[in-house]
């Protein structure tokens, strides 16, 4: 895998040091067809494999977990140390950008707390 993604002439550099997670109900998985998008979604059981049993109990009410990747910066050339440029999707940590980067609808973030919970936005 390349360290960047080329989109519309801009180089979007993968951030290997940060990740996040959004917990979702089955209702949201169905409503937004999350299993059919390009987002990386795990079942709650897959997600809990990395957690200890006691910690995992808090997650049992959820049906899926969207694993968020992040972009560190955007350049106009394939030189990672090149000057950062503005993306048409905003700053790399903004909701709009992160949703675009992870192929999830931004409307998902506006859903109620019974259906969506951000478990980490940009942990690293």
Rounded distance, CA 88 to CA 42, Å? 29
Angle (nearest 5°) at CA 69 between 96 and 59? 95
Closest by alpha carbon to 44, among 20, 19, 61? 61
Pair of tokens at residue 111: 């859903």
Rounded distance, CA 44 to CA 66, Å? 10
Per-residue pLDDT tens for 27-60?
Answer: 999 999 999 989 999 999 999 887 777 777 789 8
Residue position matching structure tokens 């192929």: 103
pTM for this entry: 0.88
Per-residue pLDDT tens for 57-96?
Answer: 789 899 999 999 999 999 998 888 888 998 999 999 899 9
Pair of tokens at residue 73: 């910066």
Locate the domains of the chain by residue range: 18-69+90-123
């Amino acid at each position: 895998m390349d360290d960047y993604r080329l989109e519309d002439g801009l180089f979007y550099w993968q951030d290997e040091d940060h990740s996040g997670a959004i917990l979702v109900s089955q209702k949201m998985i169905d409503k937004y067809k999350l299993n059919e998008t390009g987002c990386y979604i795990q079942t709650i059981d897959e997600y809990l494999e990395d957690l200890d049993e006691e910690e995992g109990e808090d997650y049992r009410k959820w049906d899926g977990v969207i694993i968020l990747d992040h972009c560190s910066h955007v350049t106009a050339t394939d030189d990672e140390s090149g000057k950062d440029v503005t993306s048409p999707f905003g700053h790399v940590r903004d909701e709009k950008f992160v949703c675009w980067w992870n192929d999830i609808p931004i409307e998902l973030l506006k859903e109620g707390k019974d259906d969506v919970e951000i478990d980490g936005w940009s942990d690293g």
